[in-house]
Amino acid sequence: MKTRVTELFGIEHPIVLSGMSWISTPELVAAVSNAGGLGILATGVYNAGQTREAIRRVRSLTDRPFGANATLYFPGARENAQVLLEEKVPVINFSMGKGDWIVKGAHAYGGKVIATVTTAKHAQSAASYGTDAVLVTGNEAAAHGSGVSSMVLIPRVADAVKVPIVAAGGFADGRGLAAALVLGADGVAMGTRLMNTKESPAHEGCKAACREREAEDTLYTTRFDGQPCRILLSPGGKRAVKRGLDLKRAAFNGVEISRMLGVPYLKMAAGVLASGWKNTLQLAHLANAFKGFRLACTEGDLERGVLPLGQASSLIADTPTVAEVLRRTVEEAEALLARPRAL
């Protein structure tokens, strides 16, 4: 299946792995790329040295195009993005910040850049400074999605920009891919679906929860990490939402983040406070969220942890290989797209 996305990135199928912290590891990234899609490495939980090692690990596992992301408001994200440029990652995906400097750096070596957006306005802004494509995240998506559903958001963005569009939020099979293409997208990103594959490092408890839950078993809220975020309604998720922002807990969890980034805690805390009270509150939310996500994704602890889960979980009943997911998604989409022409 050829679209503007496959031609832009030099891939076989218009399917992208969402960059999910603790899940989109080098092994899963390579599995998606080797199967003909575009794997995107999540760097949010890495420091600069770990990011460099992870990129080189991906390259040892695949010779196909791949990408890596940088969530620009995360601590250490700018340093990670600089590593992506130094390592000449073929595709860089940035979000939650202005990435004009990333676009300039990537284009200097022939790399491509995707901006993750949740509004047509943000898509237009990213396209204005040369971003090659936009990843449009609808309300159905796990974690940070728009307040607008993919059904409305995709055509709205398609009317607003001329660059290729990758649709995210609610896509788990060929029906979704076909629908996205008809709505104006050029491909889809899958998070929840590819999280539940054999190659995914997600804990088996997470995969089981994905297979067993309905769309109604998720919650879209700002009370977990300060941003509109879709999570599983697990005991840990319910407790986190009820608790809201806990500054004392954030101070303790910040120690774990400082160790993860290799930055002295007091230095990191001083930098956070110097960034302003509004940003301090957001980063306090983030400190608590990091621990919640880690407990759920890596340990399967849904009593204390919080699992980002998209509404597409209600469409998932098995745990196949990555290659099987991509193959049957494309085959189903092609069959569905041929039907209207036949009629």
pLDDT over threshold 80, residue 273: no
Q: List pLDDT tens digits, range 57-77.
A: 999 999 999 999 999 987 788
Same domain, 130 and 17: yes
Q: Which residue has the tokens 């995969």?
A: 207
- What is the number of structural domains in the chain? 2
pLDDT at 263: 67
pLDDT at 75: 75
Cβ neighbours for 225, distance < 8 A, ≥ 6 positions apart: 285, 286, 288, 289
Q: List pLDDT tens digits, range 96-133.
A: 999 999 999 999 999 999 999 999 999 999 999 999 99
For the four alpha carbons of 323, 310, 216 and 157, in that order, the dihedral sign comes to negative
In the predicted model, what is the mean pLDDT of residues 315-327? 98
> Per-residue DSSP letters for 13-66?
SSEEE---TTTS-HHHHHHHHHTTSBEEE--TT--HHHHHHHHHHHHHH-SS-E
Same domain, 14 and 159: yes
Q: How confident is the model at residue 226 (pLDDT cuts 50, 70, 90)?
A: confident
Type of residue found at 177: L
Q: Which residues of 21-33 are buried (b: 16+ CB within 10 A; e: fewer)?
A: bbbbbbebbbbbb
Same domain, 268 and 320: no
For 68, the domain range is 4-202+316-342
Considering the entire predicted model, what is its pTM? Answer: 0.92
In the predicted model, what is the mean pLDDT of residues 21-29? 97
Same domain, 186 and 235: no
In whole angstroms, what is the distance from residue 207 CA to residue 237 CA? 16
- Give the percent of the chain with pLDDT over 90: 79
- Give the percent of the chain with pLDDT over 70: 88
Same domain, 158 and 227: no
Identify the burial level of 253 via C-beta atoms within 10 angstroms of its C-beta, where 0-12 means exposed, 13-18 middle and 19 or more buried: buried
Q: List pLDDT tens digits, range 125-164.
A: 999 999 999 999 999 999 999 999 999 999 999 999 999 9
**Residue 308 within a domain:** no
Q: How confident is the model at residue 227 (pLDDT cuts 50, 70, 90)?
A: confident
pLDDT at 265: 61
pLDDT over threshold 70, residue 278: no
Same domain, 163 and 221: no
Type of residue found at 188: V
**Residue 311 within a domain:** no
Q: List pLDDT tens digits, range 232-261.
A: 999 999 998 888 876 667 666 666 666 766
Helix (H) or strand (E) holding 137: strand 133-137
In whole angstroms, what is the distance from residue 78 CA to residue 84 CA? 10
pLDDT at 22: 94
Same domain, 223 and 197: no
In whole angstroms, what is the distance from residue 56 CA to residue 51 CA? 9
Same domain, 66 and 191: yes
In whole angstroms, what is the distance from residue 27 CA to residue 63 CA? 13
Same domain, 40 and 62: yes
Do residues 15 and 330 touch, judged by C-beta distance below 8 A?
A: yes
